[in-house]
Chains A and B, each alone.
Chain A
Amino acid sequence: MTLGGFLPVLKRELFAFFVTPLAWVLVTAFLVVQGMHFVLLVSHFADEPQIASDQTPLQAFFGNTVILYLVLFLLVPPITMRLFAEERRSGTIETLMTAPVSTAAVVLAKYASALLTYAAMWAPTALYLVILSRTGEIDPRVAASSYLGVMVVGSAYLALGLLMSALTRSQFLALVGTALVILVLFILGVGEFVAREGTTLHDVCAYVSVWAHMTDFASGVVDSRRLVFYATLTALGLFGTVRVVDAWRWG
């Protein structure tokens, strides 16, 4: 399998996304919401200095609160929904796939474009750290592990979103499907607190709990089990997408 065609497809995907108003609405909404969260958290911590002993605004921003999941839940599906669904509906997928490019190259290029978009959306939030470091101290290692967490969780969600987009011709269905998968993964994590301790269900739920994962990452703990879990999810999503694309393409 060669990856010829990866670069032109990646470039076109980025162009096609950022030329739409959807991209800019999404970026704006994301930054407004994150900015509000940041302001709320900082003023909350400023008002009650006594809780600052066991938690920092940084930790609350990336973990231990519902904020991050809500953002991921609303951010990932609109990024990935159009990747395959739009091209299948309009028929351009036929010209794309009859060019001498491999399925893997197309899938990876589309995925890379989503990942770059996602990373670009998070990039301005680094300013919050700059602001915080003016008034207090920030552990750069905690910041790094937090962003690592955001990226690994995001990359898995984006891969699943890509798979959803390959499964249907309807962008809306892809959006709903991706949101559903993210929701199910989150709810499974909640099972950790519902199931009795010691049961298998509890352990499984604890293992897949994005809540627990992000709380770890946000407090500077990089657990290799988390990395393996999200790498596996990402690989499954990408592999599944290649298989699905080949299935409808040769079907």
Chain B
Amino acid sequence: MIAVTSLTKRFGARYAVRDLTFEVKKGSVCGFLGPNGAGKTTTLRILAGALGKTSGGASICGFDVESASMDARRSMGYMPEAVPLYPEMRVAEYLSFRAELKGVARRERPRAVATAMKKARVDDVASQRIGALSKGYRQRVGLADALVADPPVLVLDEPTSGLDPNQIREVRDVVRDLAGSHTVLLSTHILSEVEAMCDHVVVIHRGRLVAAGTREDITRQRRATSLEVVARGEREACEVAARSVAAFGDVEATDDGGVVTLLCPISASATDEARAEAAEAVVSALVAAGARVRRVTERASSLEDVFAELTRDGGGEAEGEP
């Protein structure tokens, strides 16, 4: 439903998006991840027809976003990052205007507006001026606007930014309800969001694709599991004992008043069998060294770890989005 092929966008000499290729299948909710300045907004704006590309291509429902721009825009509801709205209009008035603009027939307009307001939970402020609304309401008026013509594809740029936890949960529910019947691409840099809403993930960093697939795929693909062993004994002795296990990488040890915590990384390609054996080996080695083992836990990497791993090289430095 959404296809991006070798998309490149350059601002002067700086590449905001570089040779980006990914696809979002019909009915899926795809999280578009990346640190600030990675090129998320630029990509979404190109998809929405708000910005031109430098090279490559993108299409919505098979319509190219430039050569068949009208059809592409008709099949999509877009919610920009800043959610710009006309402050002097009332909520229902604004949504009715947007529905008319998007070609919803006059007779169906009141119902379309009512449905969108209900879905985005803004029906209680229908007759208020947008300028007087709180950030959370404005954000959801933007969401209602994206939904009002009931397009098959939704492109949402940070739909939950600036919301309080209750509102975030509500928006998540809305997005989850859309899954299956709609194709959703939403950008975020909050990982718990992706874990809560999305079945697919696309990760970009500095304008390039670094990972794409289902959520589980990505977590599995970049698995860097480690064993955490807590034992009471001498730090030196424990460290030596743990190092004697061949399956471990570089062991790290921390001592907290006689209680030693050992972090033993284990190769991502190791089988479950090998992991279990390594756990047994480290326990017997520690016991043999005179330490008392309190706890052995396996640490599976979360999406958070994967994300940090994938976008490690100076990911914190923002390159700025226009």
Interface residues of A (CB under 8 A from B): 2, 4-5, 7-9, 11-12, 15-16, 19-20, 90-102, 249-251
A12 touches B97 (CB 8 A): yes
Contact pick for A94, options B84, B98, B102, B103, CB 8 Å: B84
When distances are taken between beta carbons in the complex, the residues of chain A under 8 Å from B73 are 98-100
Q: Does B158 contact A (CB under 8 A)?
A: no
Name 25 A/B residue pairs within 8 A (Cβ), A-sorted: A2-B70, A8-B101, A9-B101, A12-B86, A15-B88, A15-B89, A16-B88, A90-B84, A92-B85, A92-B86, A94-B80, A95-B84, A95-B98, A95-B145, A98-B48, A98-B50, A98-B73, A99-B98, A99-B102, A100-B73, A100-B101, A100-B102, A100-B103, A249-B50, A250-B66
When distances are taken between beta carbons in the complex, the residues of chain A under 8 Å from B100 are 7-8
Complex: chain A residue closest to B142, CB-CB: A95
User: What 0/1 readout, one digit per residue, does chain B (71-104) give for beta carbons within 8 Å of chain A?
Assistant: 0011000101010111011000000011011110
Q: Does B265 contact A (CB under 8 A)?
A: no
Q: Does B191 contact A (CB under 8 A)?
A: no
When distances are taken between beta carbons in the complex, the residues of chain B under 8 Å from A5 are 101
B50 touches A4 (CB 8 A): no
Q: Does B49 contact A (CB under 8 A)?
A: yes
Q: In the complex, A235 Cα to B88 Cα: how many Å?
A: 31
A97 touches B49 (CB 8 A): yes
Q: Does B274 contact A (CB under 8 A)?
A: no
User: What 0/1 readout, one digit per residue, does chain B (139-169) give for beta carbons within 8 Å of chain A?
Assistant: 0000001000000000000000000000000
User: What 0/1 readout, one digit per residue, does chain B (44-76) give for beta carbons within 8 Å of chain A?
Assistant: 010011111000000000000010001001100
Q: How far is the CB of A93 from chain B (nearest CB, A)?
A: 8
Complex: chain B residue closest to A92, CB-CB: B84
Residue among A19, A96, A102, A250 with most chain B CB within 10 A? A250
B84 touches A8 (CB 8 A): no
Contact pick for A100, options B45, B52, B70, CB 8 Å: B70
Q: In the complex, A19 Cα to B52 Cα: how many Å?
A: 34
A102 touches B101 (CB 8 A): no
User: What 0/1 readout, one digit per residue, does chain B (194-226) give for beta carbons within 8 Å of chain A?
Assistant: 000000000000000000000000000000000
When distances are taken between beta carbons in the complex, the residues of chain B under 8 Å from A250 are 51-52, 66
